[in-house]
Structure 1
Amino acid sequence: MSDKQSKGMSQKAEVNFCLFVLVHPHPNPPPSRGRGAELISLFLILLFSLGLFSPSYAFAADISLHGFFQGNYSFGTRANPDGGDFKLAEERLQLKLDASKEPFRLFIKTDAFFDHIDEKGDVELREGYIDYTAKKWDLRIGRQVITWGLGDLLFINDVFPKDYEAFFSGRPMEYLKKGVDGVKVGLYPVFASFEFIAVPFFEPNNYPDARRFHMFDPMPNVTNREEKDPASNFKNTELALRIYRGIAGFDASLYFYRGFFRQPWMMPDNPMMPTKLSLFYPKLSVYGASLQGRALEGVLSVETGYYDSKQDRSGTDYTVPNSQTRFLIGYQRQLWEDFTVGLQYYMEYMHDYSEYKRAQPAGFPKDRKLEQLATVRLTQFLMHQNLRLSLFSFWSPSDGDYMLNPEIKYNFSDHVWGAVGGNIYGGGERWSQFGQLDKNDNIYLQLRYEF
C-alpha cells in the first residue's frame, strides 16, 4: 500500500511501503466522493436487473438474499485530536442480493450505517455489478472489488483503492478494500488467461480522519488546502491488464497498470512562504510480475513491480514521487494442526536518489534509498475452529518502527461471532510510517449477526 507522498512536503506523512499511506490531514473531513459514479452504477444495475430478472423470468432465476447486522467500536488509549475517545463507534446493516439466470448474474452489496461520533447515518453501495459468462470469456460491469498480487497486507501490483481509516479503526479486514466503477473482461484461451480492466471514474484511497487520528504534518499552519481529482474522461481512464497461467507447478502472473497514484501529493503556491497547498494525483504506470507455489513444505510467494512516475522520471521535481522498484518474498506454512505462520520481507528501492536529495526542500525529512519491512502472521484455531487467536506484526529494519495487531475471534454460533483486538504502534521517528501513529493505539470490538 505504499505510494509515497510529496517529497519533503509529505514524504514521511505516509507509510512508505505497500502497506498503507497517510496523507497530511485536512483540517476538516473531505466531502464524500464518487456520488456521480455511484448513481451511474446503480442506474445501470437497475436497468439490467429490470430486463433480466423481471417477474416473467423470476421463476427461472436463482435468487438469494443474505446479510448481517454489525456493531463496531474502537477506543483509543489516548484522546483524539478533537478530544474524543473513540476512533470508531457505529452500527451497520449489510444486504447482499445474488441473482443468476444463465448466462447472467446480478450481485448487489449495500451497507446502511449510523456513525455515533459524527452523529449521522449513510448508505453505501459497496459492490454492484452484472456478470455475463460465455465459454471462453466473461464480462463484469459495475462497482467491483478487485484483488491482484500475493502480499498479505503488502500491495505491489494490487493498485486498486484501499480504505486505510477502516484498517486503522479496527473494522473487519473486508473493509480495507474499496470498489471501483468499471469494466472487467476475462479471456481464457488455451495458452494463458487474461484479465483486462477499464476504470473511467478515479477513486482515491481513503485516509484517517484528522479529528480522530494523530498524524505527522510538516506544514500544520497551512490549512488552506485544495484537492483535485483527475477528470473523468477517456484520456484519464485507468487501464490494467493481468496475464496468468501455471508454470511447472507455480502460478505465474504478469501485470500492467496505467493510471494515477491513489494518494494526493502536495504542491505549495510558494515554496518559501506557502499560504495554500494544492493536492493532486500524479500519473503512474506499474509493470509487475508474481510467482507462487509449493516449496519447502509450505507456500512460497515472490512479487515485484516497477513504479514508473511518469511526471518525474528524472527525479528532480520534489512535488512528484520518484520512480521505484518494489520486491516482496513471502512464505507460509502449517507447523502443527490448526497453526500457521506467515513471513514476508519487503523492500522498496528509490531511483534517481541523488536528484531526490538535491531537490528536497531544507528542513524536511528525507526517505531512504532502500526502505525495508518485515511481517509475521501467526494464527491458531482452537475449540473445533470456533476460536481463532491471531497476531499480525510489521517491523521496519530501516526505520526501526513497528505495528502489532493481536486479535481474538470466537464463533458463538453459525450466525453470531465476535472479535476483540488492538492496534499498537511505536518506534522510529515522529514522521516515520508507524512512529507517527504512536498516539493512536486502540482497542476494538466487532460483533456480527449473519443471516
Structure 2
Amino acid sequence: MCTALLLAVYLPTLAQDGDGWQIKGFVDTYHALRTRSPYDWMSSRTRVRGEVERVWGHSTAFVSANLTYNTLLQARTGIQLREAYLDHRAEHWGLRAGRQLVIWGVADALRITDQVSPMDMTEFLAQDYDDIRQPVNALRLYAFTPIMKMEAVVVPLFEGYVLPVDRANPWSVLPTGTALPLRYAPEGCEPKFRMKNAEYGARLGFNLPGVDFSLSGLYTWNKQPVVDYELGLGELLVKPQYYRMGMVGADISVPWGQVVLRGEGAFNIGKHYSYTPFAPAVQKGFNAVNWMVGLDWYAPNEWTISGQFSMEGILNYEDCIAQKNHQMLGTLNVSKKLINSTLQLSDFTYYDITNRGWFSRFSVDYALSDQIHLSCGYDWLGARTDEGIFGQYRKNSEVWVKARYSF
C-alpha cells in the first residue's frame, strides 16, 4: 500500500506540459457494513487508478490500470489492466484498436442495446456504474460527417459477466440451503478463441436539429450466462453456459427546453434464458423485445430528476423459463447540489415492478477540494419475495463511506 501511495504522489511529476504526455488517476477507498444481523463487512477495498495518454498528431495511445487491495475478497487483490488502446482520427474516418469500453444507447444504467461490454457483478449494483461496465478487446472503425457517425466493431475474444461465486462474498449468486454441496464449474464452458466465435456489429447515428437517433445491430453471445445444474459425485455442479444471439435496435434522444426525452429498443434474436432447476426441456433460444422510455429534467437551482421505465417480453414464452414473461423495471434518479456545488445529495432507485423488489442508493458527496471528495451513503435493498433480481439480496442493506483523491 505504501508503494501505491508513492505512485499517486510521483506519477503526476512525470508529465511535462507540451511534451504530448498526460498522466492522471485517483486513489479511492471504500468500506460498507451490513445494517442488520450479523452486521458484517460487505466490502472493504482500496484502489489506485493510473491513466497514461500520449498524443501525437491525430493519434492517441491510452493505458489505464488498477492496483487494488481487497480485504474481503483476496482474489480481487492485485494489478488489473483496464484499458489499453491506440486511436487515430482523420477528417472523415477513424479507428480504435485494443482494450476499450464500448458504450451504446441512451439508457441510464440499463442494458438495452448496450450489449458489447460485459458487466462486473462482484458487488451487484453497489459499485459505481463506470466500474460495473467492463472493457473488451476490440477493433472499432468509424466514418463520420457533421451530422452522421457510423461505427463498426469486432470483438475477437469472448468476455462474459464477472459473477460473484466466492462463498465469502455476501453478493454471491450461488443458492444456499441445497441438499448437496454446490461447486461452480466454469471449466470449458466459455467460447474458444476462434474466428467463428468473434462478435461483430455496427451502429449508425445521426445528430439532427432537435433530435439524435441511431440504429444498431450486433451478433454476439449472451454475456450473462445461462445456468445449468448437473449432478456430480456427491455434489451439485453449477455450470455457466453461453449461447449465440443477435440484436437489432434503435435509440432516440429529443431535448426540449430543460427536459430531454429518451427512448431505446432492442429485438433480441435467439436469446437463451436460465430454466427452472432440473427442467425437462432442452435449451433453446427465444426472440424477445426489450425497450425503455426515459425523461430527464434539468431543473432550476441545480436539481436533476430522471426517470425510466423498461420492459422485456419473451415471444412464445414457455413455463420452464425461470424469468417471468414480462419483466418490468423502473428507475428514478434525484440529485441536488448545494453550497456552491460542492455538496451533492442524490438517490438512484431501481424498482422491479414485476417481482416487487428494489435497490435504492442514497449518497452524500462533498468536494473538500478539486482533488479530494468525501462521500457516504445507504444502500437499501428489499423485496416482497425471493424472486427477481433483488429477492436474493433483500438482507444486504448497507451503509458505506468512500474517500477519493484525484491527481
1:162 aligns with 119
Name the TM-score, length of structure 1 as normaliser: 0.78
Specify which of 374, 380, 397 is matched with residue 336 of structure 2.
380
Q: Residue 369 of structure 1: CA displacement? A: 2.0
Q: Given the superposition, is the C-alpha separation of residues 132 and 166 from structure 1 closer, same or farther in structure 2, using an over 3 Å criterion?
A: farther
Is it true that 1:211 corresponds to 2:140 in the alignment?
Answer: no
Is it true that 1:348 corresponds to 2:280 in the alignment?
Answer: no
2:182 aligns with 223
Q: Given the superposition, is the C-alpha separation of residues 130 and 439 from structure 1 closer, same or farther in structure 2, using an over 3 Å criterion?
A: same
Kindly report which structure 2 residues correspond to 1:80-229, keeping only aligned pairs within 5 A, or say none: 85-119=40-74, 121-159=77-115, 160-168=117-125, 170-189=126-145, 192-208=148-164, 209-213=166-170, 215=173, 217=175, 220=178, 221=180, 223-227=182-186, 228-229=189-190
Gaps of 5+ in 1: 1-57, 361-365
1:292 aligns with 253
Q: Residue 301 of structure 1: CA displacement? A: 0.2
Instruction: Say which SS state the counterpart of residue 409 (structure 1) adopts.
Output: strand
Q: Given the superposition, is the C-alpha separation of residues 85 and 233 from structure 1 closer, same or farther in structure 2, using an over 3 Å criterion?
A: same
Q: Counting strand residues as a fraction of each chain, which structure ranks higher?
A: 2
Q: Is the 8 A contact 1:293 1:300 kept in 2?
A: yes
Equivalent-residue separation in structure 2 for 1:226 and 1:107 (angstroms): 35
What is the letter of the counterpart of residue 213 of structure 1?
P
Deviations 1:271-312 (A, max 9, x none): 9x9943432111111110001011374000010001112679
Which has the higher mean CA deviation after the structures are superposed, 257-266 or 293-302? 293-302
Q: Given the superposition, is the C-alpha separation of residues 69 and 269 from structure 1 closer, same or farther in structure 2, using an over 3 Å criterion?
A: closer
Q: Is the 8 A contact 2:212 2:254 kept in 1?
A: yes
Q: Is the 8 A contact 2:222 2:271 kept in 1?
A: no
Equivalent-residue separation in structure 1 for 2:103 and 2:68 (angstroms): 25
Q: Residue 150 of structure 1: CA displacement? A: 0.9
Specify which of 337, 357, 361 is matched with residue 405 of structure 1.
361
Gaps of 5+ in 2: 1-15, 274-279
Instruction: Say which SS state the counterpart of residue 394 (structure 2) adopts.
Output: helix
Is it true that 1:238 corresponds to 2:207 in the alignment?
Answer: no
Equivalent-residue separation in structure 1 for 2:363 and 2:104 (angstroms): 25
What is the letter of the counterpart of residue 253 of structure 1?
S
For these two proteins, the number of residue pairs brought into alignment is 378
What is the letter of the counterpart of residue 280 of structure 1?
Q
Deviations 1:401-434 (A, max 9, x none): 1111100001000110011122211123113211
Is it true that 1:62 corresponds to 2:20 in the alignment?
Answer: yes
Higher RCO (Cα < 8 Å, 6 or more apart): 1
Instruction: Say which SS state the counterpart of residue 72 (structure 2) adopts.
Output: coil
Q: Given the superposition, is the C-alpha separation of residues 162 and 118 from structure 1 closer, same or farther in structure 2, using an over 3 Å criterion?
A: closer
Q: Given the superposition, is the C-alpha separation of residues 70 and 248 from structure 1 closer, same or farther in structure 2, using an over 3 Å criterion?
A: closer
Deviations 1:364-398 (A, max 9, x none): xx433212111111010001110000011122222
Q: Residue 94 of structure 1: CA displacement? A: 1.3
Specify which of 204, 212, 218 is matched with residue 257 of structure 1.
218
Same amino acid, percent of matched pairs = 21
